[in-house]
Amino acid sequence: MERETESVDQAVGVDQGQRRFRMVPVRFLLPNMITLLALCSGVTAIRFAFEGRYELAVASVMLAVVLDAVDGRLARFLKGTSRFGAELDSLADFVNFGVAPAILLYVWSLNSLRTLGWVICLVLAICCALRLARFNVALDDPNKPAWANRFFTGAPAPAGAGLALLPFYLGFLGIIDEGHGWALLIGPYIVCVALLMVSRVPTFSGKHMGRIRGDMVLPVLGLAVLAVVMLISYPWEFLSIVSVIYLALIPVSIRSYRKLSAGVAHHKASEPPAAS
């Protein structure tokens, strides 16, 4: 096989040294560098958890969420998407949003349930991996209608991690005491979040948002700036509110998905049959 490959390269005039040292555009490197920074942030969160610095641990996971949102958009903006980048992003997401939150929760709270607590953490990590695998497969589905791009199937991995860390936000605000005392309530909640990630529940997606009207540019920019200011000034209050709003929007997304699906089905049923 190697001899055949070499003969093909010689036939097309490709030098072995040129193939090895060919130039790679910077636009392909920048998104992958951000993905690696996100991975470093997620792994560092695990270190902070073992050191008992839980606020820094949660902040590191949130930084990974922000970097995960940036790398994909930057790759599409620079036209630097690649198969390598997609695979690297999925592996980083599994660590950042599956492994890291599971370990944080176990160290902070669920270890008081001993083996049961560890099983719950495994469920969270496994469901995150399954959700990412299903998402990657769905990208290659040619039969997926265009309107379905407005929705995710189940909660995406970053949103799942954010929801799973909700007990931390409440703990930092003093609403709940030490995590170990609330493990019997936190455990079932984490299982529900894990199942939400692998469920067929449609949730709103912001990745395919189109252009906004000209008169809405300033209000949208104002809301974006306000959100950043609130996140910096009142991080745990802001993240708690966002988590609650996200959960409250799930019934709305289900109703919207069913309405669009029913409208498409009705349109197809009303079309005249094609002439044979």
Spell out the SS3 assignment of the chain.
CHHHHHHHHHHCCCCHHHHHCCCCCHHHHHHHHHHHHHHHHHHHHHHHHHCCCHHHHHHHHHHHHHHHHHHHHHHHHCCCCCHHHHHHHHHHHHHHHHHHHHHHHHHHCHHHHCHHHHHHHHHHHHHHHHHHHHHHHHCCCCCCCHHHHHEEECCCHHHHHHHHCHHHHHHHCCCCCCHHHHHHHHHHHHHHHHHHHHCCCEEECCCCCCCCCHHHHHHHHHHHHHHHHHHHHCHHHHHHHHHHHHHHHHHHHHHHHHHHHHHHHHHHHHCCCCCC
Residues 67 and 38: beta-carbon distance below 8 Å:
yes
Of the candidates 165, 153, 240, the residue with the CA atom closest to the CA atom of residue 197: 153
Residues 160 and 246: beta-carbon distance below 8 Å:
no
Residues 106 and 117: beta-carbon distance below 8 Å:
yes
Residue 240 to residue 273: CA distance in whole angstroms: 52
Note the pLDDT of residue 141. Answer: 64
Backbone region of residue 69 per phi and psi (left: phi > 0; alpha: psi in -120 to 50; beta: other values): alpha
Residue written as token pair 């509110």: 241
**pTM listed for this prediction:** 0.83
Note the pLDDT of residue 84. Answer: 83
Note the pLDDT of residue 72. Answer: 81
Note the pLDDT of residue 129. Answer: 95
Q: What is the CA radius of gyration of the chain?
A: 22
Residue 104 to residue 206: CA distance in whole angstroms: 27
| Domains along the sequence of the chain with CATH | 25-256 (1.20.120.1760)
pLDDT tens, residue order, the chain (276 aa): 444 444 444 444 445 545 555 666 666 788 889 999 999 999 999 999 999 999 999 999 999 999 998 888 887 777 777 788 888 999 999 999 999 999 999 999 999 999 999 999 999 999 999 999 988 887 666 666 666 778 888 999 999 999 999 999 999 999 987 778 899 999 999 999 999 999 999 998 876 555 666 667 788 788 889 988 998 999 999 999 999 999 999 999 999 888 888 766 555 555 555 544
Report residue 176: phi and psi, to 5°.
Answer: -120, 155
Note the pLDDT of residue 8. Answer: 41
Note the pLDDT of residue 24. Answer: 64
Tokens of 228: 């950043």
Tokens of 35: 């993905």
Note the pLDDT of residue 137. Answer: 83
Q: Which residues of 36-52 are buried (b: 16+ CB within 10 A; e: fewer)?
A: ebbbbbbbbbbebbeee
Report residue 152: phi and psi, to 5°.
Answer: -95, 155
Angle among Cα 54, 132, 93 to the nearest 5 degrees reads 35
Note the pLDDT of residue 1. Answer: 45
